[in-house]
Amino acid sequence: MSTAIFPSETLARRAQKFLAMNGYTCALVRLTTPKEGCRYGLNISEHAKEVETLLQNRFHVEWKRDSA
Amino acid sequence: MMINFDNAATTFPKPPEVRFAVEKALIRYGNAGRGSHLLAERGSELVYSTREIIAEFFHAQPENVVFTANCTHALNYAIQGELLQGGHVIISHLEHNSVARPVYALAKSGKIRYSIADISDSETEILENFAKLIRPDTKAIISTIASNVTGQILPFRKIGQLCREKNICFIADGAQACGILPIDLEKDCINILCTAGHKSLYGITGTGVLISDGKFSIPPLMQGGSGSLSALPEMPDFLPDALEAGTLNLIGIASLNAGIKFIQKTGMENIFRSETALCQQFCENLKLIPEVIIYRNAKAEYVPIVSFNLKGKTADETAGILAKKGFCLRSGLHCAPLAHYALQTVETYQGTVRFAPSVFSSKENTQRLTETISAIR
C-alpha cells in the first residue's frame, strides 16, 4: 500500500474527489509526525501505479510506500 | 406588522432551507480539521463541500476559498496582505469603510499611498478615472462591484481587464453583488473577491468569504491553530489554512452551503429580475411624490438598491417615521461616507434612506411602503 501525503486537508479531499471521479476509491487519514504535526494522507491499496500517475500529474504530493 | 426592506445589511428572513441547515448543524457537527472521529469528520466534509460549492459558483479552486467572519474581515486580509510591502493603491469614491478604513490606516502609518477614483454614470469615464491614477508603484485597485448606498454597478469586468493589462492586483468587494450578479473570477479578471455570506448569499451573520485566483499570495495576518503542520512555529503558507487560524464557524458555513443551494435552485437571474422589478415599482411610485429625491441616474446600472430622501426631513427622521409604521429601512451614511460626500447628502439630509428588497419581498408591501411615504408629507 502507498500513501499520498498532503500538507492540507483541503487538498487531500480535493485529490480524493478527483480519484473518485476517475473510479478509484481511497481512504483519507490524518497523519501526525513529531517533526511537522498534522498532515493528511490518502491510503491507496489498489491500482497504485495508475493512481500515482494520476495524482503526480495534478497535485504536488509526497509519497510513503510500504515495502510489504 | 414588520416589513423588512433592509436586505442590503443582511437578508431577512432567511430561506427555510437555511434555517433547517443551521438546526441540523447544531446537532451534527464537531470541529472541522481537528480530528478523525465521526463529529470532526462530518464537520470536515461539510467545510470541504461548501468550499466546492463556492468555488464552482465563482469559478475558482476549492483550496482558494477562505472562510472569514464577514466581508470586512476578508477585505482586511486582502488589503493588508497585498500591501504588506507598501506601494500605491487606488480605490473608488463609492467604497464602504471596510475598504476605505484599512486603506486609510495603512496610509496614516506611512506604509502606503492611495488615490480615489471618481465614479460618474459613464463607464468610459470611470475606467479613464481609474487608468489615469495608475502609477509605476501601484499595487492594486480595490473597488466595490456595486455601491451599498446607491446600488450602482461599476464596470468591474473592465476594471479587472485594466488590472490584468497593467499586472496589478484587482481586489473586488462583492458584498452587494454576490448572489445577485454572475461573477466569475477568471472571466472577470478578479484576483481576490471578498464577500459577505449573510447578504444575498442568504447565510447567517458571522459569515464571509475571501476567494483568490491564486495569482497573488496573501500572507497570514493572524496566527493560531490551523489543523495542519501543527508542529511548526509558523502558520502554513498555503491557502486556505494560511488565513484560517482558529476554529471555523461551522454553523455559519452550513448556512452558507444551504444559502447558495437556494440561489441555484431559485435561479440568480430570477432573483435579480424579481428584486429589480420591485425597485422599478418603488421608483415609479416615488417619482409621483414631488418631495422625494431619488439617487439614481438613467444611464447607470444598479443592483436592487434604491437610495432616497424626503425634502425637509433628515434621512434618520424619514426612516424613523417608517420604522414606527413597521417598515425596516436603513438610514444615515451606510458606513460609506465617501459615497455620501460625492452625492452631497451629508449636510442637508445626513445621508439617505435605503430601500433594499430581497427575493422574499412583495409588490404589495412595496406598494404599502410608497403609500406610507406619500402620507408623511
Q: Mean pLDDT throughout B274-295?
A: 98
The CATH number fitting domain A2-59, selected from 3.40.50, 3.40.190, 3.30.70, 2.40.50: 3.30.70
Report chain B's mean pLDDT, rounded to a whole number.
97
Q: Where are the domains of chain B?
A: 3-12+267-376, 16-265
CB contact under 8 A, A9 and B231: no
Least confident segment among B72-76, B226-230, B251-255: B226-230
| Cα three-residue angle B176-B182-B184, rounded to 5 degrees | 105
Q: Which of B154, B205, B207 is nearest to B177 (CA)?
A: B154
Torsion sign over Cα B81, B87, B92, B97: positive
Rounded Cα gap, residues B189 and B169, in angstroms: 9
Q: Where are the domains of chain A?
A: 2-59
Helix (H) or strand (E) holding B252: helix B250-266
What pLDDT shows up at residue B36? 85
CB contact under 8 A, B227 and A13: no
Probe site for chain A from B36, B228, B235, B253 (most A CB atoms < 10 A)? B228
Assess whether pLDDT exceeds 70 at residue B371.
yes
What pLDDT shows up at residue A1? 84
Q: Which of B195, B193, B148, B155 is nearest to B171 (CA)?
A: B193
Rounded Cα gap, residues B356 and B368, in angstroms: 15
Report chain A's mean pLDDT, rounded to a whole number.
90
Q: Which of B31, B55, B57, B58 is nearest to B45 (CA)?
A: B31
Q: How far is CA B286 from the centre of its chain?
A: 27
Assess whether pLDDT exceeds 70 at residue B362.
yes
Q: Mean pLDDT throughout B180-198?
A: 98
The minimal CB distance from B63 to the residues A11, A30, A37 is found for A11
Binning chain B into helix, strand and coil, the percentages to the nearest 5 are 40, 15, 40
Q: What is the pLDDT of residues B59-99, one digit of tens each?
A: 999 999 999 999 999 999 999 998 888 999 999 999 999 99
CB contact under 8 A, A9 and B62: no
Assess whether pLDDT exceeds 70 at residue B178.
yes
What pLDDT shows up at residue A46? 86
DSSP-based three-state secondary structure for B264:
helix
Residues 6+ positions from A46 with CB-CB distance below 8 Å: A24
When pLDDT is cut at 50, 70 and 90, the band that residue B34 belongs to is confident
Q: Mean pLDDT throughout B372-377?
A: 92
Question: In terms of C-beta density within 10 A (0-12 exposed, 13-18 middle, 19 or more buried), how is residue B168 classed?
Answer: buried
Pairing of β B138-144 and β A37-44: unpaired
Rounded Cα gap, residues B299 and B368, in angstroms: 28
Q: How many CB atoms lie within 10 A of CB B362?
A: 12
Q: What is the CATH number of domain B3-12+267-376?
A: 3.90.1150.10
State whether CATH 3.40.640.10 applies to domain B16-265. Answer: yes
Report yes or no: B107 and B87 within 8 Å, Cβ to Cβ: no
What pLDDT shows up at residue A67? 63
